[in-house]
Protein backbone atom coordinates (compact mmCIF):
# COMPACT_ATOMS: atom_id res chain seq x y z
CA UNK A 1 0.00 0.00 0.00
CA UNK A 2 1.50 3.35 -1.02
CA UNK A 3 2.27 6.03 1.54
CA UNK A 4 0.50 9.34 0.92
CA UNK A 5 1.51 12.83 1.95
CA UNK A 6 0.36 13.88 5.41
CA UNK A 7 -1.08 17.15 4.08
CA UNK A 8 -1.98 16.19 0.50
CA UNK A 9 -3.72 12.84 0.72
CA UNK A 10 -4.03 12.46 -3.04
CA UNK A 11 -0.25 12.79 -3.53
CA UNK A 12 2.27 9.98 -2.91
CA UNK A 13 4.94 10.76 -0.34
CA UNK A 14 8.55 11.10 -1.48
CA UNK A 15 10.10 11.59 1.96
CA UNK A 16 9.48 10.62 5.56
CA UNK A 17 10.61 12.20 8.81
CA UNK A 18 11.60 9.61 11.40
CA UNK A 19 11.40 12.21 14.16
CA UNK A 20 7.77 13.32 13.80
CA UNK A 21 6.47 10.66 11.42
CA UNK A 22 5.36 13.12 8.74
CA UNK A 23 5.13 11.84 5.17
CA UNK A 24 6.04 14.53 2.66
CA UNK A 25 5.44 15.08 -1.04
CA UNK A 26 7.48 17.44 -3.23
CA UNK A 27 5.22 20.35 -2.29
CA UNK A 28 5.89 19.83 1.42
CA UNK A 29 9.56 18.86 1.64
CA UNK A 30 12.06 21.55 2.56
CA UNK A 31 14.92 21.62 0.05
CA UNK A 32 18.04 23.49 1.12
CA UNK A 33 20.89 24.11 -1.27
CA UNK A 34 24.41 24.83 -0.08
CA UNK A 35 27.63 25.38 -2.00
CA UNK A 36 30.88 23.70 -1.07
CA UNK A 37 34.18 22.56 -2.53
CA UNK A 38 32.47 19.55 -4.10
CA UNK A 39 29.81 21.72 -5.74
CA UNK A 40 26.19 22.38 -4.87
CA UNK A 41 24.66 20.16 -2.19
CA UNK A 42 20.93 19.54 -1.91
CA UNK A 43 19.60 18.42 1.47
CA UNK A 44 16.03 17.56 2.38
CA UNK A 45 14.49 18.53 5.70
CA UNK A 46 11.16 18.07 7.43
CA UNK A 47 9.54 21.54 7.64
CA UNK A 48 7.83 20.59 10.93
CA UNK A 49 10.80 19.57 13.09
CA UNK A 50 13.57 20.94 10.81
CA UNK A 51 15.52 17.67 10.85
CA UNK A 52 16.77 15.70 7.83
CA UNK A 53 14.11 13.60 6.11
CA UNK A 54 14.83 10.29 4.41
CA UNK A 55 13.71 9.41 0.94
CA UNK A 56 10.98 6.79 0.63
CA UNK A 57 11.56 4.18 -2.06
CA UNK A 58 10.64 5.53 -5.48
CA UNK A 59 8.27 2.62 -5.88
CA UNK A 60 5.94 4.62 -3.66
CA UNK A 61 6.09 7.56 -6.07
CA UNK A 62 6.21 5.87 -9.46
CA UNK A 63 3.19 4.76 -11.37
CA UNK A 64 3.28 0.91 -11.34
CA UNK A 65 4.62 -0.50 -14.59
CA UNK A 66 1.39 -2.43 -15.26
CA UNK A 67 -0.46 0.90 -15.40
CA UNK A 68 1.83 2.33 -18.08
CA UNK A 69 2.39 -0.59 -20.43
CA UNK A 70 1.20 1.62 -23.29
CA UNK A 71 3.93 4.19 -22.60
CA UNK A 72 6.49 1.41 -22.24
CA UNK A 73 5.46 -0.03 -25.59
CA UNK A 74 5.86 3.40 -27.24
CA UNK A 75 9.28 4.06 -25.65
CA UNK A 76 11.39 3.04 -28.71
CA UNK A 77 9.34 5.35 -30.96
CA UNK A 78 11.10 8.37 -29.48
CA UNK A 79 13.36 10.04 -32.08
CA UNK A 80 16.73 8.74 -30.83
CA UNK A 81 15.97 4.99 -30.57
CA UNK A 82 13.73 5.03 -33.65
CA UNK A 83 16.42 6.63 -35.82
CA UNK A 84 19.11 4.29 -34.47
CA UNK A 85 16.94 1.24 -35.10
CA UNK A 86 16.21 2.33 -38.67
CA UNK A 87 19.89 2.97 -39.44
CA UNK A 88 21.07 -0.32 -37.92
CA UNK A 89 18.32 -2.27 -39.70
CA UNK A 90 19.21 -0.71 -43.06
CA UNK A 91 22.92 -1.45 -42.54
CA UNK A 92 22.12 -5.00 -41.46
CA UNK A 93 19.87 -5.58 -44.48
CA UNK A 94 22.39 -4.13 -46.95
CA UNK A 95 25.18 -6.33 -45.58
CA UNK A 96 23.10 -9.40 -44.81
CA UNK A 97 25.89 -11.84 -45.66
CA UNK A 98 28.62 -10.04 -43.72
CA UNK A 99 29.02 -11.73 -40.34
CA UNK A 100 31.25 -9.00 -38.92
CA UNK A 101 28.69 -6.32 -39.84
CA UNK A 102 25.88 -8.30 -38.22
CA UNK A 103 27.97 -8.70 -35.08
CA UNK A 104 28.67 -4.96 -34.93
CA UNK A 105 24.97 -4.18 -35.47
CA UNK A 106 24.10 -6.58 -32.65
CA UNK A 107 26.73 -5.06 -30.31
CA UNK A 108 25.55 -1.49 -30.97
CA UNK A 109 21.91 -2.44 -30.42
CA UNK A 110 22.61 -4.38 -27.22
CA UNK A 111 24.77 -1.48 -26.02
CA UNK A 112 21.96 1.00 -26.62
CA UNK A 113 19.30 -1.28 -25.13
CA UNK A 114 21.50 -1.75 -22.07
CA UNK A 115 21.97 2.03 -21.84
CA UNK A 116 18.17 2.42 -22.02
CA UNK A 117 17.82 0.01 -19.11
CA UNK A 118 20.35 1.93 -17.00
CA UNK A 119 18.89 5.30 -18.01
CA UNK A 120 15.42 4.16 -16.99
CA UNK A 121 16.64 2.54 -13.76
CA UNK A 122 18.19 5.87 -12.76
CA UNK A 123 14.84 7.61 -13.10
CA UNK A 124 14.61 9.03 -16.63
CA UNK A 125 11.71 7.99 -18.82
CA UNK A 126 13.24 9.70 -21.84
CA UNK A 127 15.31 7.54 -24.15
CA UNK A 128 19.04 8.31 -23.98
CA UNK A 129 20.44 10.27 -26.91
CA UNK A 130 22.57 8.38 -29.41
CA UNK A 131 26.13 9.63 -28.94
CA UNK A 132 29.56 8.32 -29.82
CA UNK A 133 30.39 8.08 -26.13
CA UNK A 134 27.32 5.96 -25.43
CA UNK A 135 28.14 3.52 -28.24
CA UNK A 136 31.93 3.49 -27.91
CA UNK A 137 32.46 3.58 -24.14
CA UNK A 138 31.81 0.85 -21.57
CA UNK A 139 31.65 -1.94 -24.14
CA UNK A 140 32.56 -4.12 -21.17
CA UNK A 141 28.90 -3.95 -20.15
CA UNK A 142 27.92 -5.89 -23.26
CA UNK A 143 30.79 -8.29 -22.72
CA UNK A 144 29.65 -8.99 -19.15
CA UNK A 145 26.16 -9.72 -20.36
CA UNK A 146 27.59 -12.07 -22.99
CA UNK A 147 29.66 -13.81 -20.27
CA UNK A 148 26.53 -14.28 -18.15
CA UNK A 149 24.74 -15.90 -21.10
CA UNK A 150 27.82 -18.06 -21.74
CA UNK A 151 27.89 -19.24 -18.11
CA UNK A 152 24.21 -20.13 -18.28
CA UNK A 153 24.75 -22.03 -21.55
CA UNK A 154 27.72 -23.84 -20.03
CA UNK A 155 25.63 -24.93 -17.05
CA UNK A 156 22.93 -26.29 -19.35
CA UNK A 157 25.57 -28.01 -21.48
CA UNK A 158 27.11 -29.58 -18.40
CA UNK A 159 23.78 -31.01 -17.22
CA UNK A 160 22.52 -32.20 -20.62
CA UNK A 161 24.76 -35.34 -20.99
CA UNK A 162 23.64 -36.62 -17.59
CA UNK A 163 19.92 -35.84 -17.89
CA UNK A 164 18.30 -34.21 -20.93
CA UNK A 165 15.10 -33.73 -18.93
CA UNK A 166 17.00 -31.92 -16.19
CA UNK A 167 18.68 -29.76 -18.83
CA UNK A 168 15.30 -28.78 -20.31
CA UNK A 169 13.99 -28.02 -16.83
CA UNK A 170 17.09 -25.92 -16.14
CA UNK A 171 16.50 -23.97 -19.35
CA UNK A 172 12.95 -23.10 -18.24
CA UNK A 173 14.10 -22.13 -14.75
CA UNK A 174 16.95 -19.96 -16.05
CA UNK A 175 14.66 -18.35 -18.61
CA UNK A 176 12.25 -17.44 -15.82
CA UNK A 177 15.09 -15.99 -13.76
CA UNK A 178 16.86 -14.20 -16.62
CA UNK A 179 15.24 -10.74 -16.08
CA UNK A 180 16.27 -10.86 -12.41
CA UNK A 181 19.79 -11.90 -13.42
CA UNK A 182 20.10 -8.96 -15.82
CA UNK A 183 18.75 -6.52 -13.22
CA UNK A 184 21.29 -7.75 -10.66
CA UNK A 185 24.04 -7.36 -13.26
CA UNK A 186 22.99 -3.72 -13.71
CA UNK A 187 22.65 -3.11 -9.98
CA UNK A 188 25.93 -4.75 -8.95
CA UNK A 189 27.97 -4.62 -12.19
CA UNK A 190 29.26 -8.04 -11.09
CA UNK A 191 29.04 -11.24 -13.14
CA UNK A 192 29.46 -13.46 -10.06
CA UNK A 193 26.62 -11.73 -8.21
CA UNK A 194 24.38 -11.84 -11.27
CA UNK A 195 24.65 -15.64 -11.63
CA UNK A 196 24.39 -16.32 -7.90
CA UNK A 197 21.03 -18.05 -7.19
CA UNK A 198 21.24 -16.93 -3.57
CA UNK A 199 20.81 -13.36 -4.87
CA UNK A 200 18.46 -13.50 -7.85
CA UNK A 201 15.96 -16.04 -6.44
CA UNK A 202 15.15 -13.98 -3.28
CA UNK A 203 14.73 -10.88 -5.44
CA UNK A 204 12.08 -12.63 -7.53
CA UNK A 205 10.12 -13.39 -4.36
CA UNK A 206 10.59 -9.85 -3.04
CA UNK A 207 9.09 -8.38 -6.20
CA UNK A 208 6.35 -11.00 -6.01
CA UNK A 209 3.49 -11.31 -8.47
CA UNK A 210 4.70 -8.18 -10.30
CA UNK A 211 7.74 -10.17 -11.46
CA UNK A 212 5.47 -12.80 -13.00
CA UNK A 213 3.49 -10.05 -14.74
CA UNK A 214 6.70 -8.52 -16.11
CA UNK A 215 7.92 -11.91 -17.28
CA UNK A 216 4.67 -12.66 -19.13
CA UNK A 217 4.88 -9.29 -20.87
CA UNK A 218 8.51 -9.98 -21.83
CA UNK A 219 7.48 -13.34 -23.30
CA UNK A 220 4.80 -11.57 -25.30
CA UNK A 221 7.33 -9.06 -26.61
CA UNK A 222 9.88 -11.71 -27.55
CA UNK A 223 7.27 -13.75 -29.36
CA UNK A 224 5.55 -10.83 -31.06
CA UNK A 225 7.88 -10.60 -34.13
CA UNK A 226 7.60 -14.35 -34.77
CA UNK A 227 3.83 -14.21 -34.47
CA UNK A 228 3.70 -11.24 -36.83
CA UNK A 229 5.78 -12.90 -39.54
CA UNK A 230 3.71 -16.06 -39.20
CA UNK A 231 0.68 -14.21 -40.60
CA UNK A 232 2.53 -12.08 -43.17
CA UNK A 233 2.79 -13.32 -46.78
CA UNK A 234 6.57 -13.61 -46.47
CA UNK A 235 6.84 -15.40 -49.82
CA UNK A 236 5.66 -12.20 -51.51
CA UNK A 237 8.21 -9.97 -49.75
CA UNK A 238 11.71 -9.46 -51.13
CA UNK A 239 14.23 -11.32 -48.90
CA UNK A 240 16.28 -8.21 -48.20
CA UNK A 241 13.17 -6.22 -47.22
CA UNK A 242 11.99 -9.13 -45.10
CA UNK A 243 15.36 -9.26 -43.34
CA UNK A 244 15.16 -5.49 -42.76
CA UNK A 245 11.71 -5.87 -41.16
CA UNK A 246 12.92 -8.72 -38.98
CA UNK A 247 15.88 -6.69 -37.78
CA UNK A 248 13.81 -3.56 -37.26
CA UNK A 249 11.05 -5.22 -35.23
CA UNK A 250 13.37 -7.41 -33.17
CA UNK A 251 15.45 -4.35 -32.24
CA UNK A 252 12.37 -2.34 -31.31
CA UNK A 253 11.12 -5.13 -29.09
CA UNK A 254 14.58 -5.53 -27.54
CA UNK A 255 14.59 -1.86 -26.51
CA UNK A 256 11.09 -2.25 -25.05
CA UNK A 257 12.20 -5.31 -23.05
CA UNK A 258 15.24 -3.57 -21.61
CA UNK A 259 13.25 -0.41 -20.85
CA UNK A 260 10.65 -2.50 -19.01
CA UNK A 261 13.33 -4.24 -16.95
CA UNK A 262 14.85 -0.84 -16.16
CA UNK A 263 11.49 0.48 -15.00
CA UNK A 264 10.90 -2.56 -12.79
CA UNK A 265 14.41 -2.11 -11.38
CA UNK A 266 13.55 1.53 -10.59
CA UNK A 267 10.15 0.68 -9.12
CA UNK A 268 11.56 -2.05 -6.87
CA UNK A 269 15.04 -0.61 -6.32
CA UNK A 270 14.83 -0.99 -2.54
CA UNK A 271 13.83 -4.65 -2.75
CA UNK A 272 16.63 -5.32 -5.24
CA UNK A 273 19.23 -3.26 -3.39
CA UNK A 274 19.83 -0.82 -6.25
CA UNK A 275 20.82 2.69 -5.24
CA UNK A 276 19.01 5.47 -7.12
CA UNK A 277 20.43 8.99 -7.24
CA UNK A 278 17.47 11.11 -6.18
CA UNK A 279 19.07 14.24 -7.60
CA UNK A 280 19.07 12.67 -11.06
CA UNK A 281 15.54 11.39 -10.59
CA UNK A 282 14.32 14.79 -9.36
CA UNK A 283 15.99 16.55 -12.29
CA UNK A 284 14.26 14.30 -14.83
CA UNK A 285 11.01 13.53 -13.03
CA UNK A 286 9.60 11.69 -15.99
CA UNK A 287 8.71 14.98 -17.61
CA UNK A 288 7.47 16.60 -14.38
CA UNK A 289 8.69 19.90 -12.99
CA UNK A 290 11.97 19.91 -11.11
CA UNK A 291 11.95 20.22 -7.35
CA UNK A 292 13.01 23.71 -6.23
CA UNK A 293 13.79 25.34 -2.91
CA UNK A 294 10.86 27.18 -1.32
CA UNK A 295 10.82 30.52 0.44
CA UNK A 296 11.20 30.65 4.22
CA UNK A 297 7.59 31.78 4.49
CA UNK A 298 6.37 28.78 2.49
CA UNK A 299 8.49 26.39 4.58
CA UNK A 300 7.14 27.89 7.79
CA UNK A 301 3.54 27.64 6.57
CA UNK A 302 4.02 23.97 5.67
CA UNK A 303 5.74 23.22 8.97
CA UNK A 304 2.90 24.84 10.90
CA UNK A 305 0.29 22.90 8.96
CA UNK A 306 2.06 19.63 9.79
CA UNK A 307 2.41 20.49 13.49
CA UNK A 308 -1.22 21.58 13.78
CA UNK A 309 -2.43 18.46 11.98
CA UNK A 310 -0.44 16.37 14.44
CA UNK A 311 -1.96 18.27 17.38
CA UNK A 312 1.41 19.72 18.40
CA UNK A 313 0.09 23.19 19.19
CA UNK A 314 2.83 24.22 21.63
CA UNK A 315 5.51 23.29 19.09
CA UNK A 316 3.65 25.32 16.46
CA UNK A 317 3.54 28.32 18.80
CA UNK A 318 7.27 28.01 19.43
CA UNK A 319 7.95 27.89 15.66
CA UNK A 320 5.80 30.96 15.09
CA UNK A 321 7.09 33.14 17.90
CA UNK A 322 10.25 34.45 16.12
CA UNK A 323 8.17 35.54 13.12
CA UNK A 324 5.61 37.21 15.37
CA UNK A 325 8.28 39.23 17.16
CA UNK A 326 9.25 41.00 13.94
CA UNK A 327 8.32 44.67 13.51
CA UNK A 328 5.52 43.94 11.07
CA UNK A 329 4.72 40.21 11.04
CA UNK A 330 2.72 38.55 8.30
CA UNK A 331 -1.00 38.94 9.12
CA UNK A 332 -1.75 35.30 8.30
CA UNK A 333 0.98 34.11 10.66
CA UNK A 334 -0.30 36.48 13.32
CA UNK A 335 -3.80 35.04 12.92
CA UNK A 336 -2.46 31.49 13.24
CA UNK A 337 -0.54 32.45 16.37
CA UNK A 338 -3.64 34.02 17.92
CA UNK A 339 -5.82 31.01 17.09
CA UNK A 340 -3.19 28.61 18.46
CA UNK A 341 -3.16 30.49 21.75
CA UNK A 342 -6.92 30.03 21.93
CA UNK A 343 -6.74 26.36 20.94
CA UNK A 344 -4.25 25.62 23.71
CA UNK A 345 -6.54 27.23 26.29
CA UNK A 346 -4.03 29.92 27.14
CA UNK A 347 -6.67 32.58 27.70
CA UNK A 348 -4.36 35.03 29.45
CA UNK A 349 -1.79 34.94 26.64
CA UNK A 350 -4.53 35.30 24.02
CA UNK A 351 -5.95 38.34 25.85
CA UNK A 352 -2.49 39.88 25.87
CA UNK A 353 -1.69 39.09 22.25
CA UNK A 354 -5.01 40.33 20.85
CA UNK A 355 -3.72 43.90 21.21
CA UNK A 356 -0.71 43.15 19.02
CA UNK A 357 -2.83 41.09 16.63
CA UNK A 358 -5.32 43.94 16.23
CA UNK A 359 -2.49 46.33 15.33
CA UNK A 360 -1.08 43.87 12.76
CA UNK A 361 -4.47 43.49 11.08
CA UNK A 362 -5.07 47.24 10.97
CA UNK A 363 -1.56 48.02 9.71
CA UNK A 364 -1.90 45.49 6.87
CA UNK A 365 -5.35 46.64 5.78
CA UNK A 366 -7.22 43.53 6.98
CA UNK A 367 -10.40 45.51 7.55
CA UNK A 368 -12.90 42.78 8.38
CA UNK A 369 -10.57 40.92 10.70
CA UNK A 370 -9.59 44.08 12.57
CA UNK A 371 -13.25 45.03 13.00
CA UNK A 372 -14.08 41.56 14.31
CA UNK A 373 -11.23 41.74 16.81
CA UNK A 374 -12.35 45.00 18.40
CA UNK A 375 -14.72 43.39 20.91
CA UNK A 376 -11.87 41.19 22.17
CA UNK A 377 -9.58 44.22 22.30
CA UNK A 378 -12.05 45.97 24.63
CA UNK A 379 -12.00 43.00 26.99
CA UNK A 380 -8.20 42.79 27.10
CA UNK A 381 -6.76 43.67 30.52
CA UNK A 382 -3.48 44.98 29.11
CA UNK A 383 -3.99 48.51 27.94
CA UNK A 384 -4.97 49.48 24.43
CA UNK A 385 -3.61 49.14 20.90
CA UNK A 386 -1.99 52.09 19.15
CA UNK A 387 -4.11 55.13 18.45
CA UNK A 388 -3.36 54.79 14.74
CA UNK A 389 -4.87 51.30 14.54
CA UNK A 390 -7.97 52.21 16.56
CA UNK A 391 -8.52 55.35 14.48
CA UNK A 392 -8.18 53.37 11.23
CA UNK A 393 -10.79 50.83 12.30
CA UNK A 394 -13.17 53.62 13.27
CA UNK A 395 -12.79 55.18 9.80
CA UNK A 396 -13.43 51.80 8.11
CA UNK A 397 -16.63 51.37 10.13
CA UNK A 398 -17.69 54.87 9.17
CA UNK A 399 -17.10 54.07 5.48
CA UNK A 400 -19.28 50.97 5.85
CA UNK A 401 -22.07 53.03 7.42
CA UNK A 402 -21.75 51.07 10.66
CA UNK A 403 -22.21 54.27 12.63
CA UNK A 404 -23.00 52.85 16.07
CA UNK A 405 -19.94 50.64 15.97
CA UNK A 406 -17.84 53.55 14.69
CA UNK A 407 -18.99 55.68 17.64
CA UNK A 408 -18.02 52.86 19.97
CA UNK A 409 -14.52 52.64 18.48
CA UNK A 410 -14.03 56.41 18.55
CA UNK A 411 -15.21 56.50 22.16
CA UNK A 412 -12.60 53.86 22.97
CA UNK A 413 -9.99 56.02 21.23
CA UNK A 414 -10.89 59.10 23.29
CA UNK A 415 -10.63 57.04 26.47
CA UNK A 416 -7.09 55.77 25.85
CA UNK A 417 -5.54 58.24 23.39
CA UNK A 418 -6.60 61.74 24.45
CA UNK A 419 -3.16 63.16 23.67
CA UNK A 420 -2.83 61.45 20.30
CA UNK A 421 -2.33 63.77 17.31
CA UNK A 422 -5.48 62.31 15.75
CA UNK A 423 -7.66 63.21 18.75
CA UNK A 424 -9.15 66.39 17.15
CA UNK A 425 -10.13 64.41 14.04
CA UNK A 426 -11.73 61.71 16.17
CA UNK A 427 -13.74 64.23 18.20
CA UNK A 428 -14.85 65.94 15.00
CA UNK A 429 -15.99 62.62 13.51
CA UNK A 430 -17.86 61.78 16.72
CA UNK A 431 -19.64 65.15 16.62
CA UNK A 432 -20.72 64.63 13.01
CA UNK A 433 -21.96 61.10 13.74
CA UNK A 434 -23.94 62.30 16.76
CA UNK A 435 -25.61 65.04 14.74
CA UNK A 436 -26.16 63.21 11.45
CA UNK A 437 -26.84 59.65 12.62
CA UNK A 438 -27.76 59.72 16.34
CA UNK A 439 -29.93 62.87 16.24
CA UNK A 440 -28.05 64.30 19.20
CA UNK A 441 -27.11 67.79 18.08
CA UNK A 442 -26.71 69.09 21.61
CA UNK A 443 -23.98 66.62 22.40
CA UNK A 444 -22.39 67.31 19.01
CA UNK A 445 -22.25 71.07 19.79
CA UNK A 446 -20.67 70.35 23.14
CA UNK A 447 -17.92 68.27 21.53
CA UNK A 448 -17.27 70.84 18.80
CA UNK A 449 -16.93 73.61 21.36
CA UNK A 450 -14.56 71.39 23.31
CA UNK A 451 -12.37 71.02 20.20
CA UNK A 452 -12.15 74.79 19.79
CA UNK A 453 -11.25 75.20 23.42
CA UNK A 454 -8.72 72.36 23.71
CA UNK A 455 -7.13 72.60 20.23
CA UNK A 456 -7.45 76.29 19.27
CA UNK A 457 -4.61 76.18 16.75
CA UNK A 458 -5.40 72.89 15.05
CA UNK A 459 -5.87 72.89 11.27
CA UNK A 460 -9.43 71.54 11.71
CA UNK A 461 -10.61 74.64 13.59
CA UNK A 462 -12.05 76.40 10.45
CA UNK A 463 -14.07 73.29 9.57
CA UNK A 464 -15.27 72.94 13.17
CA UNK A 465 -16.48 76.57 13.16
CA UNK A 466 -18.34 76.04 9.88
CA UNK A 467 -20.01 72.92 11.22
CA UNK A 468 -20.97 74.72 14.44
CA UNK A 469 -22.56 77.45 12.34
CA UNK A 470 -24.70 74.85 10.59
CA UNK A 471 -25.86 73.48 13.96
CA UNK A 472 -26.65 76.93 15.36
**Extents of the domains making up the chain:** 15-62, 65-276, 312-388
Nearest to 109 by CA among 76, 151, 73: 76
Sign of CA dihedral 202, 203, 204, 205: positive
Give the chain's length: 472
- CA end-to-end distance (rounded Å), the chain: 83
Euclidean distance between CA atoms 436 and 345, whole angstroms? 44
Euclidean distance between CA atoms 185 and 110, whole angstroms? 14
**Is the separation of the CB atoms in 318 and 352 below 8 Å?**
no
Nearest to 256 by CA among 232, 222, 223: 222
Euclidean distance between CA atoms 297 and 216, whole angstroms? 50
Euclidean distance between CA atoms 42 and 315, whole angstroms? 26
Per-residue pLDDT tens, the chain, 472 aa: give them: 578 888 888 888 888 888 888 888 888 888 887 765 555 677 888 888 888 888 887 777 778 889 888 899 999 999 999 999 999 999 988 888 788 988 888 888 888 998 899 888 888 888 888 888 777 766 777 788 888 889 988 988 888 888 888 888 888 888 888 889 888 888 888 888 888 888 889 989 988 899 999 988 888 887 777 777 667 776 677 778 888 888 898 899 999 999 999 999 888 888 887 777 776 776 665 545 556 667 778 888 888 888 888 888 888 888 888 888 888 888 999 999 999 988 888 788 888 999 999 999 999 999 999 999 999 998 888 888 999 999 999 999 998 989 899 999 999 999 999 888 899 998 988 888 888 888 888 888 898 888 888 888 888 888 989 888 887 6
Confidence (pLDDT) at 287: 46
> How many other C-beta atoms are found inside a 10 Å radius of the C-beta of residue 321?
10
How many CA atoms within 13 Å lie on the side-chain side of 278? 18
Euclidean distance between CA atoms 408 and 295, whole angstroms? 41
Euclidean distance between CA atoms 399 and 396, whole angstroms? 5
**Is the separation of the CB atoms in 16 and 23 below 8 Å?**
yes
Sign of CA dihedral 32, 36, 41, 44: negative
The distance from CA 212 to its chain's CA centroid, rounded to whole angstroms, is: 32
How many CA atoms within 13 Å lie on the side-chain side of 328? 5
**Is the separation of the CB atoms in 147 and 295 below 8 Å?**
no
For residue 125, the SS3 value is: coil
**Is the separation of the CB atoms in 438 and 405 below 8 Å?**
no
How many CA atoms within 13 Å lie on the side-chain side of 421? 2
Nearest to 262 by CA among 226, 288, 289, 286: 286
Instruction: Please state the pTM of the whole predicted model.
Output: 0.67
Burial class (CB in 10 A: 0-12, 13-18, 19+), 287: exposed
Confidence (pLDDT) at 77: 92
DSSP assignment letter at 24: E
Euclidean distance between CA atoms 371 and 402, whole angstroms? 11
DSSP assignment letter at 401: T
Task: List phi, psi (to 5°) of 421.
Answer: -60, -20
Burial class (CB in 10 A: 0-12, 13-18, 19+), 177: buried
Amino acid sequence: MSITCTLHRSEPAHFQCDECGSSLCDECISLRETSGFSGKNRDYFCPACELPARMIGLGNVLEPFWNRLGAIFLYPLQPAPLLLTLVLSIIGALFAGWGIVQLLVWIVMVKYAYASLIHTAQGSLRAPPVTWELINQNVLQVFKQFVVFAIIAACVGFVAPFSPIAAVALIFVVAACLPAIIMILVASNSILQAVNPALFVPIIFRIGWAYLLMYLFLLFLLGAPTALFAVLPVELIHPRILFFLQLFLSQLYSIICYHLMGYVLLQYHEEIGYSVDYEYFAANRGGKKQLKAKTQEAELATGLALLIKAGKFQEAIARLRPAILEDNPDPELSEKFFQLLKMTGEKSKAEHYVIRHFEVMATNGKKQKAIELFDEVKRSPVGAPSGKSVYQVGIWLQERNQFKKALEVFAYFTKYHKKDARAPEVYFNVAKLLHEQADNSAKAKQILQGILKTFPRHELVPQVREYLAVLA
